[in-house]
A and B are shown apart, each in its own frame.
Chain A
Amino acid sequence: MENKNNYKGWIYLLPAIILIALFTLYPLINTFLISFLEDYKYATGSSSGFTFDNYAVLLGLKEFPDYLTGKGQIDAFFQYALPNTLLITFITVPISIVLALIIAVALNSIKKLRTIFQTIFFTPYVTNIIAVGMVFGVLFSQTGLINEIFGTSISFIPGQGSDAPTYFHAMLVLCIEIVWYELPFKILVFIGGLQSIDRQYYDAARIDATPKIKRFLHITVPFLSPQILYVSITSFIDGFKEYQAIAGLFNSRGTTSLNYNLYTCVYFIYDQIQTGGQNINYACAAAVILFVIILLFTLLQLYVSKKRVYY
């Protein structure tokens, strides 16, 4: 501590630093650079110069150049991927946070059967999202359990022997799956927070004849605000990066009536890499756009939290 140029510390850190530099920092910077290159060739690394066109095309401000292939995919970013990503995030994150909070409070207030319920709620956490997608696919198939229960035959999932689902139904199943899958981690964090709240605050509130709902809003929520902030920031980030759930559930980019109906930003980036990387400069630009959006939302939440979070 006294010697600030402690080389020993640096030596201990060196393996981590090398790995981070190699696999995180270098790709990060490279992604940023490539996103500004015109006609970038993945194989040769050549380009015809610096440009903002990649961003302009992605954001629908400029036409995709004629001499390149893959117009449909690139256009789908602004048309479908970006709106879908925002929609999924803003639907699933608030719903799952509120649900998790309610479930955590309920779990925390029961004694009997608590472990059983906890196990039930925590199973998604140890389950693979692809497997979850397959199960949901069976449940929500046109002849599946859900349709059986409600006596309907709505098509939620595209597949053999079923009709093409509408955008609304496909999105509905997707959101239900994401909310269900995201719950356990949040419940875990909230229960941890709940157990650290001193019982005396509730006793004091009871003495003062505070109704239950008011106790929840004026004691539980403020005391959990650090956990709520943490969960909300991480789940917004997760939401913006949504991709696996779609792959698992639909086994495609969500072909309903149109090709790219349930496209998301990360799915788009993944597709660009998979298809040989001829338009990889666009994928990089998309990644940077996503990064900026996430950054803005995180800053916004931190700003709001300054007034609303009590440590």
Chain B
Amino acid sequence: MEIRLENINKIFKGDKKKGVEDTIAVSNLNIKINNGELAGLLGPSGCGKSTTLYMIAGLKEPTSGNIFFDKEDVTHLVPEKKGIGLVFQNYALYPHMSVYKNIAFPLTNLKVLTFKQSLKVKTLSLLISLLDNDKYLEIKELINSSTLDNKKINKDLALRNLINKYHISPSFAKTLFSLDYSSKESILETINKAKEDINKEIAKIKEKNGYTLDNEFYYLDQDNKKIEEKRKLSKDEIDILVRDVAKLVQIEEQLDKKPKELSGGQQQRVAIARALVKKPRVLLLDEPLSNLDARLRIKTREEIRRIQKETGITTVFVTHDQEEAMSICDDIFVMNNGKLMQEGKPIEVYKDPKNLFVAKFLGTPPINVFKGEFKNNAIYVDNEKILDNVKLCGENYTNLTFLSCYVAIRPEGFVFEDKNESLGLSLKVNEISLSGKEQTLICSHEQKLSEDIKIVIDGDAHISISEYRFTTKSNKIFLFDLNNEERIYFENASK
């Protein structure tokens, strides 16, 4: 499912009497999310990303603009009819229901249009196929081995084993369990009885409305066409779907527990399972990892990525954590103050930020911003030349010989002990933190605009608390306009 937002605006009405201004939560937003993609809406809190998500979900209605799922306009469709799955920030699991019931809940509302099938004949045929040709010995063996401490056969365990092995419903498992496996004769008798019942049922269907059954037990009318019917899912069908999705998110063992008996990560999985179980067209995740601790967060985001890849479902993921978005998203949409700042593949956005906001927002440690100048075809910070042979691009800038601007340098853009006398930036190192293969230096500088200057260099470099001169990598330097904070592109002829 492709999702398209066209000129979306969302204004929360203020109260003029009380002097509360209207709040523009989202303004003129255009987003296209491709089919099967994991897209991240990224931005600081209050940037309108959650509002955007809720508008896609239908829980909030846009003030103007349109939302499309493929070619269908779903702007004003109520959430009930949108066919989406939504995972809430605090999961919103029903605390009074077991995990199983939580996951099954969406299915109990679902109505499906299917071809009419004789479930009775289907079940009986399945029974025969499982028992015939001495295959019943396998089942017998499985039941007999379902013991705790090698004592008595544990019924619940046996049922669970049967369900897991043969992928059958609990009621059918109970039928299998209750059969008499003592002799071959009794099994043959069961098989014959089932065959008899099948013939009886087929005759009954024929007699009642003249329908016949095809090989897969679908009803066929006189013209050999399948009969359609709209119905709710049966308990057995729900059971299979719930167990399938529980397996996908790996919570099969927790199905009988109540949500509050689970850990945060498990609750998260249950919430995802509940959103996925009805096979939605789109999966929406609202800050899904914010309630988890750091380690679990990394694990769970990989998990979300895996589940998304396995199901191939178009997913929108809202987060304020750029690292999260960068690590798992196919495409990210960076938002600020209700506006889309930049979109694209995470690495491309990182390498090529279009404005100061995006540059500052992406990357850990954050980018270092200085006040600097362009003059004499070189870039200066505090009268130190950090890059020469520079030519500005863009019609507003090409002819300029002098320009004050923001100079932003990524932490990994500094090089230590480079023997270049003419270029470089002097920084006072205040703190050093070594983390294995690299070390992070916290420095200060007269012209810094970001809180700290953090630079990352090779862990082997010998450095102490003192002042050093660093050279810089040209592709890690970005210039931004002082007025509108837009990117100023430049060409560097020296490399």
Interface of A is mostly: helix
B84: interface (CB < 8 Å): yes
B296: interface (CB < 8 Å): no
A207 near B95 with CB under 8 A, answer no
B57 near A210 with CB under 8 A, answer no
B416: interface (CB < 8 Å): no
A200 near B109 with CB under 8 A, answer no
B86 near A222 with CB under 8 A, answer no
B96 near A208 with CB under 8 A, answer no
- Determine the distance from Cα of A66 to Cα of B495 in the docked complex, in whole angstroms: 124
A209: interface (CB < 8 Å): yes
Known contacts: A206-B59, A208-B278. The answer to whether A218 contacts B105 by CB under 8 A is yes
B92 near A209 with CB under 8 A, answer no
Known contacts: A218-B94, A222-B96. The answer to whether A208 contacts B88 by CB under 8 A is no
**Residue numbers in B under 8 Å from A225 (CB-CB):** 96
B92 near A208 with CB under 8 A, answer no
B36: interface (CB < 8 Å): no
- Determine the distance from Cα of A214 to Cα of B278 in the docked complex, in whole angstroms: 18
A207 near B84 with CB under 8 A, answer yes
A211: interface (CB < 8 Å): yes
Q: How large is the interface on A (under 10, 10 to 19, 20 to 34, 35 or more residues)?
A: 10 to 19
B295: interface (CB < 8 Å): no
Give B131-159 as 1s and 0s: 1 = Cβ < 8 Å from A's Cβ atoms. Answer: 00000000000000000000000000000
Name A177-220 residues within 8 Å CB distance of B.
Answer: 198, 200-201, 203-211, 214, 218-219
- Determine the distance from Cα of A222 to Cα of B105 in the docked complex, in whole angstroms: 15
Name B41-94 residues within 8 Å CB distance of A.
Answer: 57, 59, 78-82, 84-86, 88, 90, 92, 94
Please give the distance in Å from A229's CB to the nearest CB on chain B: 14
Please give the distance in Å from B56's CB to the nearest CB on chain A: 11
Find the B residue at minimum CB distance from A202. Answer: B92
- Determine the distance from Cα of A218 to Cα of B94 in the docked complex, in whole angstroms: 9
B106: interface (CB < 8 Å): yes
**Residue numbers in A under 8 Å from B59 (CB-CB):** 203, 206-207
**Residue numbers in B under 8 Å from A204 (CB-CB):** 86, 88, 92, 94, 274
Find the A residue at minimum CB distance from B86. Answer: A207
B110: interface (CB < 8 Å): yes
A210 near B109 with CB under 8 A, answer yes
Please give the distance in Å from A219's CB to the nearest CB on chain B: 7
Name B273-300 residues within 8 Å CB distance of A.
Answer: 274-275, 278
A209 near B88 with CB under 8 A, answer no
A310: interface (CB < 8 Å): yes
- For A206, A207, A214, A223, which residue has the most chain B Cβ atoms within 10 angstroms? A207
Please give the distance in Å from B314's CB to the nearest CB on chain A: 16
Find the B residue at minimum CB distance from A208. Answer: B106
- Determine the distance from Cα of A292 to Cα of B94 in the docked complex, in whole angstroms: 38
- Determine the distance from Cα of A218 to Cα of B278 in the docked complex, in whole angstroms: 19
Find the B residue at minimum CB distance from A214. Answer: B109
Please give the distance in Å from B67's CB to the nearest CB on chain A: 15
Across the A-B interface, the 6 shortest Cβ-Cβ residue pairs: A208-B106, A310-B96, A200-B92, A222-B96, A209-B80, A204-B92
A-B contact list, 27 entries, CB within 8 Å = A200-B90, A201-B92, A201-B94, A203-B59, A203-B88, A204-B86, A204-B88, A204-B274, A206-B59, A206-B79, A207-B57, A207-B79, A207-B80, A207-B82, A207-B84, A207-B85, A207-B86, A207-B275, A208-B105, A208-B106, A209-B80, A210-B80, A211-B109, A218-B94, A218-B105, A219-B94, A222-B96
- Add 15 more A-B contacts to A204-B92, A209-B110, A310-B95 (CB < 8 A): A200-B90, A201-B92, A203-B59, A205-B105, A207-B57, A207-B80, A207-B82, A208-B106, A208-B278, A210-B80, A210-B109, A218-B97, A219-B94, A222-B96, A225-B96
Q: Which residues of B are interface residues toward A (Cβ below 8 A)? A: 57, 59, 78-82, 84-86, 88, 90, 92, 94-97, 105-106, 109-110, 274-275, 278
Q: Which residues of A are interface residues toward B (Cβ below 8 A)? A: 198, 200-201, 203-211, 214, 218-219, 222-223, 225, 310
